[in-house]
Amino acid sequence: MAGKAESTPRSQAIADRWDVVVIGGGHAGCEAALAAARLGCRTLMVTGSRETIASMPCNPAIGGPAKGNLVREIDALGGEMARIADRTAIQIKILNSSKGPAVQALRAQSDKKQYALAMQAVLERQAGLTLHEALVTAMQGTEDGGMRLGFADGTEILARSAVLTTGTFLRGKLFTGLSCTPGGRVGEAPALTLTDSLLAMGFETGRLKTGTPARIDGKSIAFDEVTLAPGEDRDLHFSFMPPEKPIPQVPCYLTQTNPETHAVIRGGMDRSPMFTGMIEGLGPRYCPSIEDKVARFPDKDSHQVFLEPEGLDTDQWYVQGMSSSLPEDVQLAMLRTMRGLRNVTMIRAGYAVEYDYLPATQLHPTLQTKKVPGLFTAGQINGTSGYEEAAAQGLVAGINSARRALGREMVIFARRDSYIGTLIDDLVTKEINEPYRMLTSRSEHRLTLRHGNADQRLTPLGREIGLVDDARWASFTLKSEAMKAAMAWLETTKVQPTEETNRLLTEAGCEPIDRTHFLIDLLRRPPVPHHLVWTLGNRSEAPEVMEQQAIAVKYAGYIARQQDQIDRLKRFEEKALPADLDYHALTGLSRESQDKLTRVRPLTLGQAARIGGVTPADVSLLLVHLEARRRQPVS
């Protein structure tokens, strides 16, 4: 877009009325601000420090199982994370490549500094977006459905919609050993008063905990003692609009803990804030600290640890798998028990951060809060963990806060169509009491929600919303036409049982043929690689087109069965529940179901069925009630 974002210092006055104000400059805040501005809203991003916008305080990596699917979906809708990840990746690979397409995903190691700088540059260039360095200390809804925001210097502004993306900063506390200091991240002060505003508006809050491992000096690693973990030499990328230059590949390395490591950890448990009761909040089950792993799995002698560079111009390395809040001396001692790290220098100890969050059952699926219509929330404040989950929520909150400000109908992402929809449906329906992480297993529709077909699923919606520009739409249209042409070619092109054909098949480990076959029938054979089919047909095609068509053909039966299940569930899913339904007046529902249905206020019968504690019998009763209500004569 033409134009450029404005950037204001703390002392410079800003306008007092905005369409959308985004509070926070993390991954959720970046996507929210860009989406709102690109949709035509006069948008303000407020952040405590411009230099920390889009920072990566934990692992400088993007993607992974299910998380990589989120990144591709963000890109398909016109978001920014994938393009920045591609431009600043220093290693990229496909995980689970030996398994089926439903669980394959991209993961990239990013240059931590360059990722933040690249995203900051995009924000600065964005027309309609102003960046403002300040601290929001208070907020409240206005009578006309907007938001009033107060700054630390006493000034106030008004917004039609506000998006709260405060990450780990709400009353954040940092723990290393028995030391506790206020902070949202190392070196950054917490937001101490915004929780009071949320409570005053009637919201319920809770406490969660996350953490990060030590950073070590790469010059002190004995690389000849650790195992090489390289990227892939083929051109891989998150975005469907890939960068012009191939991504460079920098190696990572693998080591592991051992009984000596675990003995050191156990010896420091009496000074652990987790095990002495200093930390109240629960941590992420699927990304536990190393002391939690040792305590939970006492019979396990070893845990895998990755050594990953934080950038091309730094010697600082990230120790993935060793998140810890143990005292500094214990952390250094445990690191020095491992292969390749016997003489390691620790640049910064790991720490835990405990913070306030907003249980997301207080949100609509649009990420608009139920109590205050002008307020949206996204990211870790909703109880999630991970850059990708935050960015996905930020995109949705940015879209819907903008559409609300512009007087348009808001968008709900269905779980059957995207991992984004699955993520948000889980958050607003289920009671989350630990940081939520997106996993492939969380989606019952994962075979149809592959990372490779995110554009086919979501780019038309992104175009309809207004985030997919002409260049991306033209590229998508060309690819879609190529895929249709390729399928028609597979269905009509024959291959003869020639000596050359059978030689190629045999060399690829496949059975030779003794009669003429259509290429699509050959492709259906599980052992036949898709690139060989194109070779036999003497046709070249873009790798993504070949791969997606091969999946469509080889898994056609499974995909058709899952689509049939989706279609059947869709009728159930879309049965709307009245907003004024009094669940406590419905006899037959258990008290637990009545309470939970009243608290969540599900929009549909399908959403009600996914609430913990709501039984199939309860759903049947609701269905009977809806039918009886439908038959009542209109007065």
Express each pLDDT in 484-524 by its tens digit: 999 999 999 999 999 999 999 999 899 999 999 999 999 99
Give the H or E element holding residue 36.
Answer: helix 27-38
How far apart are the C-alpha atoms of 596 and 429, rounded to whole Å? 10
- Fold adopted by 469-562: Arc Repressor Mutant, subunit A (1.10.10)
Give the H or E element holding residue 95.
Answer: strand 89-95
* Closest of 16, 27, 14 to residue 165, by C-alpha: 27
pLDDT score, position 10:
39
The structural domains of the chain, with segments of one domain joined by +, span 1-172+189-468, 469-562, 575-631
Q: Is the separation of the CB atoms in 558 and 447 below 8 Å?
A: yes
Q: What is the pTM of this model?
A: 0.92
Report the share of the chain in percent with pLDDT over 70. Answer: 97
What is the average pLDDT across 426-437? 90
Q: Is the separation of the CB atoms in 180 and 174 below 8 Å?
A: yes
Parallel, antiparallel or unpaired: strands 252-256 and 304-309: antiparallel
- pLDDT tens sequence across 379-395: 999 999 999 999 999 99
- pLDDT tens sequence across 318-354: 999 999 999 999 999 999 999 999 999 999 999 999 9
pLDDT score, position 458:
98
Question: Residue 268 is encoded by which pair of tokens?
Answer: 């420091």
Q: Is the separation of the CB atoms in 207 and 354 below 8 Å?
A: yes
Q: What is the CATH number of domain 1-172+189-468?
A: 3.50.50.60
Query: DSSP assignment of 60-90, as one string?
Result: -EEE-TTHHHHHHHHHHTT-SHHHHHHHHEE
DSSP label of 612 = T
Distances (CA, A) of 568 to 190, 450, 572, 614: 48, 21, 7, 21
- pLDDT tens sequence across 113-159: 999 999 999 999 999 999 999 999 999 999 999 999 999 999 999 99
As separate numbers, helices (DSSP H) first and strands (DSSP E) second, the chain gives 20, 23
Residue with tokens 């920072």, as numbered in its chain: 55
How far apart are the C-alpha atoms of 252 and 228, rounded to whole Å? 6
What is the average pLDDT across 194-214? 96
pLDDT score, position 567:
79
Q: How is domain 575-631 classified at the architecture level of CATH? A: Orthogonal Bundle (1.10)
User: Is residue 206 over pLDDT 50?
Assistant: yes
Between 400 and 534, residue with greater pLDDT: 400
Do the domains 469-562 and 1-172+189-468 match in fold? Answer: no
* Closest of 599, 621, 596, 589 to residue 611, by C-alpha: 596
How far apart are the C-alpha atoms of 338 and 173, rounded to whole Å? 30
Q: 3-class DSSP state for residue 304?
A: strand
Strand partners, 110: 89
Question: Residue 10 is encoded by which pair of tokens?
Answer: 């703390």
User: Is residue 11 over pLDDT 50?
Assistant: no
pLDDT score, position 15:
81
Residue with tokens 């990013």, as numbered in its chain: 110
Strand partners, 253: 228, 307
Parallel, antiparallel or unpaired: strands 43-47 and 156-164: unpaired
Distances (CA, A) of 208 to 48, 380, 412, 588: 22, 9, 27, 36
